[in-house]
Amino acid sequence: MNTLKSLLLAALVTVSLTGPALAQQKSDPDNPEANATWQQMRSVMFQDRAITTPADAVLTLEAPERAQDAAIVPISIRTHVEQRPDRYIERVYLMIDNNPSPMGATFHFAPTSGRADIETRVRIDAYTHVRAIAEMNTGELYMATRFVKASGGCSAPPGKDMSAAMASLGKMRFRVEGEVEPGKPALAQLMISHPNNSGLVMDQLTRMYTPAYFVRRIQVSYAGEPVLSADVDFSISENPNFRFYFVPTGEGELKAEVIDTNDLRFETVVKVGAGT
Amino acid sequence: MPPRACALRRSIAALALAWAGVCVANPAIEPLPVEEIAPGVHVHAGHHATWPGARGDAVEGDVANLGFVVGDRCVAVIDTGGSPQLGQRLLAAIERATAQPVCFVINTHVHPDHTLGNAAFAALEPRPRFVGHARLKASLAARAPFYREALARDLGVTSGEADIVFPDLEVERTTELDLGGRRLMLQAWPTAHTDNDLSVLDDASATLFAGDLLFVGHLPVIDGRLIGWLEVMERLLTVDARRVVPGHGAPTTDWRAALDKQRHYLAGVRDGIRGALADKRTIADAVETLAGTGTNGWLLTEDFHRRNLTAAYAELEWED
Q: pLDDT of B141-198, one tens digit each? A: 999 888 988 888 888 888 676 689 999 999 999 999 999 999 999 999 999 999 999 9
Distance from CA of A30 to the nearest CA of B (A): 20
A160 part of contact set with chain B, CB < 8 Å: yes
Q: How confident is the model at residue A121 (pLDDT cuts 50, 70, 90)?
A: very high
With CB atoms and an 8 Å threshold, state whether B221 touches A161. Answer: no
Write down the mean pLDDT value for chain A.
89
pLDDT at A13: 57
AA letter at A109: F
A202 part of contact set with chain B, CB < 8 Å: yes
Q: Which of B108, B114, B149 to mutate to test the interface with A (most CBs of A within 10 A)?
A: B149
Q: Which of B143, B154, B196, B229 to mutate to test the interface with A (most CBs of A within 10 A)?
A: B143
With CB atoms and an 8 Å threshold, state whether A155 touches B137. Answer: no
Q: Tell me the torsion sign for CA atoms B229, B235, B238, B243.
A: negative
Q: pLDDT tens-digit profile of A31-42?
A: 999 999 999 999
Residue B220 has pLDDT above 80, yes or no: yes
CATH topology for B24-253 is Metallo-beta-lactamase; Chain A (3.60.15)
Question: For residues A237 and A247, what is the distance between their CA atoms, to the nearest angstrom?
Answer: 27
A20 part of contact set with chain B, CB < 8 Å: yes
- Strand arrangement, sheet containing B66-70: B35-38, B41-44, B66-70, B75-78, B102-106, B129-133, B169-171
Residue A222's beta-bridge partner residues? Answer: A225, A254
**DSSP annotation string for A10-71:** HHHHHHHHSSSSS-----BTTBTT--HHHHHHHHHHHTT--EE-S-TTTEEEE--SB-SSTT
Question: For residues B119 and B100, what is the distance between their CA atoms, to the nearest angstrom?
Answer: 19
Spatial CA neighbour of B255 closest among B188, B206, B308: B206
Per the model's pLDDT, the better-predicted residue between B215 and A100 turns out to be: B215
Q: How confident is the model at residue A2 (pLDDT cuts 50, 70, 90)?
A: low
Residue B102's beta-bridge partner residues? Answer: B75
Q: Tell me the torsion sign for CA atoms B159, B125, B9, B2.
A: positive
Give the distance between the most distant pair of CA atoms in chain A: 58
Per the model's pLDDT, the better-predicted residue between B158 and A141 turns out to be: A141
pLDDT at A20: 38
Question: For residues A133 and B175, what is the distance between their CA atoms, to the nearest angstrom?
Answer: 54
pLDDT at A250: 83
Per the model's pLDDT, the better-predicted residue between B16 and A101 turns out to be: A101
Q: How confident is the model at residue B226 (pLDDT cuts 50, 70, 90)?
A: very high
pLDDT at B21: 41
Enumerate chain B positions whose Cβ falls within 8 A of a Cβ in A. 50-51, 111-113, 135, 137-139, 141-143, 145-147, 149, 166, 191, 194-195, 221, 223-225, 280, 282-284, 287, 303-304, 306-307, 309-311, 314, 317-318
Residue B125 to residues B45, B121, B128, Cα–Cα distance (Å): 27, 9, 8
Residue B252 has pLDDT above 60, yes or no: yes
Residue range A117-122: mean pLDDT, rounded: 98
Question: For residues A266 and A218, what is the distance between their CA atoms, to the nearest angstrom?
Answer: 10
Runs of H (alpha helix) within B11-153: 16-25, 84-97, 112-115, 119-122, 136-150
- Strand arrangement, sheet containing A51-52: A51-52, A141-148, A128-136, A89-96, A103-109, A225-232, A215-222, A252-260, A265-272
Residue A236 has pLDDT above 90, yes or no: yes
Residue A163 to residues A169, A174, B139, Cα–Cα distance (Å): 10, 23, 11
- The residue length of chain A stands at 276
- Global pTM value: 0.91
With CB atoms and an 8 Å threshold, state whether A163 touches B166. Answer: no
Report the SS3 class of residue B189. coil
Phi–psi pair at B316, nearest 5 degrees:
-80, -20
With CB atoms and an 8 Å threshold, state whether A76 touches B282. Answer: yes
Which residues of A are less than 8 Å from B141 in CB distance? 201-204
AA letter at A198: S
Q: Which residues of A216-231 are buried (b: 16+ CB within 10 A; e: fewer)?
A: bebbbbbbeebbbbbb
Instruction: Considering only the beta carbons, identify the residue of A62, A154, A164 that sits closest to B284.
Output: A62
Q: How confident is the model at residue A205 (pLDDT cuts 50, 70, 90)?
A: low
Question: For residues A25 and A10, what is the distance between their CA atoms, to the nearest angstrom?
Answer: 18
Residue B4 has pLDDT above 60, yes or no: no
Q: How confident is the model at residue B55 (pLDDT cuts 50, 70, 90)?
A: confident
C-alpha R_g of chain A: 18
With CB atoms and an 8 Å threshold, state whether B282 touches A243. Answer: yes
Q: Which of B163, B194, B283 to mutate to test the interface with A (most CBs of A within 10 A)?
A: B283
Q: Are A245 and A186 in contact (CB under 8 A)?
A: yes
Instruction: Considering only the beta carbons, identify the residue of A76, A201, A241 that sits closest to B284.
Output: A76
Q: How confident is the model at residue B3 (pLDDT cuts 50, 70, 90)?
A: very low
% pLDDT > 90, chain B: 81
% pLDDT > 70, chain B: 91
Residue A261: CA atoms inside 13 Å, Cβ hemisphere, count? 14
Residue B19 has pLDDT above 60, yes or no: no
Q: Which domains, ranges and CATH numbers included, belong to chain A?
A: 3-272 (2.60.40.10)
Residue range A55-65: mean pLDDT, rounded: 97
Write down the mean pLDDT value for chain B.
91
Per the model's pLDDT, the better-predicted residue between B105 and A19 turns out to be: B105
With CB atoms and an 8 Å threshold, state whether A152 touches B135. Answer: no
With CB atoms and an 8 Å threshold, state whether B51 touches A156. Answer: no
Residue B221 has pLDDT above 50, yes or no: yes
Residue range B239-257: mean pLDDT, rounded: 98
Distance from CA of B258 to the nearest CA of A (A): 22
With CB atoms and an 8 Å threshold, state whether A164 touches B317. Answer: no
Q: Which residues contact A181 (CB under 8 A, 6 or more apart)?
A: A248, A274
A199 part of contact set with chain B, CB < 8 Å: no
pLDDT at A5: 65
Which residues of B are less than 8 Å from A125 in CB distance? 146, 149
Which residues of A are less than 8 Å from B304 in CB distance? 153
Q: How confident is the model at residue B5 (pLDDT cuts 50, 70, 90)?
A: very low
Question: For residues B311 and B300, what is the distance between their CA atoms, to the nearest angstrom?
Answer: 17
Nearest CA in chain A to B134: A163
Indicate the domain borders of chain B: 24-253
Minimum mean pLDDT range among A8-17, A255-264, B167-176, B304-313: A8-17
Distance from CA of B173 to the nearest CA of A (A): 16
Q: Are A97 and A117 in contact (CB under 8 A)?
A: no
- The residue length of chain B stands at 320
Q: Which of A69, A154, A207 to mutate to test the interface with B (most CBs of B within 10 A)?
A: A154
A243 part of contact set with chain B, CB < 8 Å: yes
Q: How confident is the model at residue A3 (pLDDT cuts 50, 70, 90)?
A: low
Instruction: Considering only the beta carbons, identify the residue of A157, A191, A204 that sits closest to B141.
Output: A204
